[in-house]
Structure 1
Amino acid sequence: MIVETDGYIDLIQYLTENLPVLSEQQGSKAGTSSYTLRECFEEQLSVQIMSVCQQNDLDQTMRIDIVREADAILYDFEEVLASVLDNHPTLEQEEFVTEFIGLIKNLFDARVKA
């Protein structure tokens, strides 16, 4: 669906290029959150996947395909971000994750509406 598209590959490359941003533990709120960067990615992705499904009239098969894609995306995140996923995110990192997952949602929206 989207994990084999050029747009998704570009987003994973962008994520890889921004690994230093996600590796930094400096800042006003560094490491003070009770959850990990992994949980932040998982939560944001699940919220956006639910949003895609709720905003569109999708049949069961399409919903299952979207959930499978989300699993593949999380697997890719684990591959790219393995060294930082257990860190507690800073506010800046949380904002980056939110924006990045928003871009993933845009790919789903474009695919569902096509």
Structure 2
Amino acid sequence: MVLDKQGYDELVMYLTQHLALFEKPGVVKANAPKVLELIEDVIAEHVIRLCEQHTGLTTEQRSLIVREVDGIVYDLQEVLSSVTEQRVTEEQREFIEEFAGLVKNLFDNAIN
């Protein structure tokens, strides 16, 4: 659906261009989640929103979306493996939320 499209390749490039955010220290708020926890939570929220907005999706389409999102999270986990257990900084949080929105946009475009 999206993993084999140019848009996903561009999204990966966008991630690589912003890896420095995960290599430098920053402000960590009290009780901040770990990087991987935030990635999983924010992307899950966007997938739920996607499915709520596209009520005509079949069970097979929803399953495909979940499988591809799992692949995206796995890719993120691989790229960010050295920092997934660290507490997320405010800059990282902003990037992760933006990235998740871009992932949702990829699926929105594929569905439309």
Whether TM-score is above 0.5 comes out as: yes
Q: CA RMSD in A?
A: 1.3
Bigger shift: residues 42-51 or 10-19: 10-19
Give 3-state SS (helix, strand or coil) of 1:111's partner: helix
Report if aligned partners of 2:29, 2:90 keep a CA contact under 8 Å in 1. Answer: no
- The two structures have a TM-score, normalised by structure 2, of 0.92
User: Unaligned 5+ residue runs, structure 1?
Assistant: none
The answer to whether the 8 A contact 2:33-2:87 is kept is: yes
Q: Is the aligned partner of 1:33 residue 2:44?
A: no
- Does residue 16 of structure 1 match 2:19? no
Runs (5+) with no aligned partner, structure 2:
none
Shift of 1:96: 0.9
> TM-score with structure 1 length normalisation?
0.90
Using the TM superposition, give the Cα deviation of residue 69 of structure 1 relative to its aligned residue in structure 2, in angstroms.
0.5
Preserved CA contact (<8 Å) 1:33 1:90? no
Q: 1:1-114 residue pairs with structure 2 within 5 A?
A: 1-26=1-26, 29-30=27-28, 32-56=30-54, 57-113=56-112
Count of residues in Structure 1 that have an aligned counterpart in Structure 2:
111
Report the Cα distance in structure 2 between the residues aligned to 1:38 and 1:24, rounded to whole angstroms. 17
